[in-house]
Amino acid sequence: MRRRRGALLRWYRANRRDLPWRRTADPYAIWVSEIMLQQTQVATVPPYYRAFLERFPDVATLAAAVENDVLAQWTGLGYYRRARSLHQGARDVMRLHGGKIPADAVTLRTLPGIGRYTAGAIASIAFDCTEPILDGNVRRVLSRWFDVDGAELGKGEEERRLWDLADQLVRGSSPGDLNQALMELGATTCLPREPACTACPLRNACFARANDAVERLPSATPHKKSITVRVGVAVIRRSGKVLLERPDGANPFRGTWDLPAVELDGNGFATEALTRRLDQRHRVGVAMGDCLGHATQDILHRRLKLEAHGGALRRGRIADSRDLSWIAVNRLADHPVSGATRKVLALVD
pTM value? 0.77
For β-strands 302-315 and 285-299, DSSP reports them as: antiparallel
For the residues 140-165, what does the mean pLDDT come to? 87
Instruction: Label residue 225 by pLDDT band (50, 70, 90).
Output: low
Instruction: Label residue 40 by pLDDT band (50, 70, 90).
Output: confident
Closest C-alpha to 310, from 282, 281, 270:
270
Residues of the chain with CATH 3.90.79.10: 227-348
Does pLDDT of 73 surpass 60? yes
Does pLDDT of 180 surpass 60? yes
Strand partners, 236: 311
Quote the CA–CA distance of 138 and 17 in Å, as a whole number. 17
Instruction: Label residue 113 by pLDDT band (50, 70, 90).
Output: very high
Does pLDDT of 129 surpass 80? yes
Does pLDDT of 68 surpass 90? no
What does the pLDDT read at residue 300?
67
Does pLDDT of 65 surpass 70? yes
Instruction: Label residue 219 by pLDDT band (50, 70, 90).
Output: confident
Does pLDDT of 222 surpass 60? no
What does the pLDDT read at residue 317?
84
Residues of the chain with CATH 1.10.340.30: 2-210
Does pLDDT of 308 surpass 60? yes
Quote the CA–CA distance of 271 and 278 in Å, as a whole number. 11
Lowest-pLDDT range of 121-130, 188-197, 296-305 = 296-305
Q: Is 157 a catalytic residue?
A: no
Does pLDDT of 24 surpass 90? yes
Instruction: Label residue 223 by pLDDT band (50, 70, 90).
Output: low
Does pLDDT of 322 surpass 90? no
For the residues 27-45, what does the mean pLDDT come to? 94
Instruction: Label residue 154 by pLDDT band (50, 70, 90).
Output: low
Quote the CA–CA distance of 332 and 346 in Å, as a whole number. 12
CATH class label, 2-210: mainly alpha
For the residues 48-68, what does the mean pLDDT come to? 96
Quote the CA–CA distance of 175 and 105 in Å, as a whole number. 13
Kindly state the percentage of the chain with pLDDT values over 90. 67
Report CA-CA distances (Å) from 259 to 5, 219, 329: 51, 41, 12
What does the pLDDT read at residue 320?
74
Instruction: Label residue 259 by pLDDT band (50, 70, 90).
Output: very high
Instruction: Label residue 337 by pLDDT band (50, 70, 90).
Output: confident
Kindly state the percentage of the chain with pLDDT values over 70. 97
In terms of CATH, what superfamily is 227-348?
Answer: Nucleoside Triphosphate Pyrophosphohydrolase (3.90.79.10)
Does pLDDT of 254 surpass 90? no
259 and 242 Cβ atoms separated by less than 8 Å: yes
For the residues 192-200, what does the mean pLDDT come to? 93
What does the pLDDT read at residue 80?
84
Cβ within 8 Å of residue 97, ≥6 positions away:
107
For the residues 280-294, what does the mean pLDDT come to? 91
Name the catalytic one among 34, 131, 245, 307.
34
337 and 281 Cβ atoms separated by less than 8 Å: no
Report CA-CA distances (Å) from 139 to 210, 217, 252, 321: 19, 10, 32, 48
What does the pLDDT read at residue 21?
97
Instruction: Label residue 152 by pLDDT band (50, 70, 90).
Output: low
Report CA-CA distances (Å) from 222 to 37, 141, 147, 213, 217: 23, 19, 20, 19, 14
What does the pLDDT read at residue 153?
61
Gap between the terminal Cα atoms of the chain: 58
Report residue 70 CA to chain centroid gap.
15
Instruction: Label residue 235 by pLDDT band (50, 70, 90).
Output: very high
pLDDT averaged over the chain? 91
